[in-house]
Amino acid sequence: MTRLSRIALVAALITQVVLIAALMRWSGVVAGMLLSLPLLATLPGLIRARTYTAGWASMLLVFYVAALLAEGVAMPQRKSFAQGLSVVAMLDFVSLVLFVRLAARERAALASRTGPSADAAH
């Protein structure tokens, strides 16, 4: 894993943990755990740097961004916190997409260096 993909993965992990903690603070522990359960399910795969997990986790974050923006519009007194959380979710999305793209480029570069026979063995 190169430095850029590692930075993107670390940024994704940090923003994911911040989003989980903020959801629990915002909604209470029980409701926050239920809201963040899908995010918690992705953490083991992200810690292992699995690109498949990062791919479906990025698709999952689109719903969090939309829900947080809708919450900010529906409840004006919570607008700033909801918008802040949506920014964190967007940063998580971007870092996950960057990690997947950079890791794919690394795999392609490695396959081109080793040749087709070494790639077929895996």
Q: Do 72 and 86 meet the contact criterion of CB atoms below 8 Å apart?
A: yes
DSSP 45-56: HHHTT-HHHHHH
* pLDDT class of 110 with cuts at 50, 70, 90: confident
pLDDT the model gives residue 117: 56
- The answer, yes or no, to whether residue 40 has pLDDT greater than 60, is yes
Per-residue pLDDT tens digits for 50-85: 999 999 999 999 999 999 999 999 999 999 999 999
pTM of the full structure: 0.87
Q: Look at 4-13, 55-64, 90-99, 105-114 and tell me which has the smallest mean pLDDT.
A: 105-114
> What are the boundaries of each domain within the chain?
3-113
- The answer, yes or no, to whether residue 116 has pLDDT greater than 70, is no
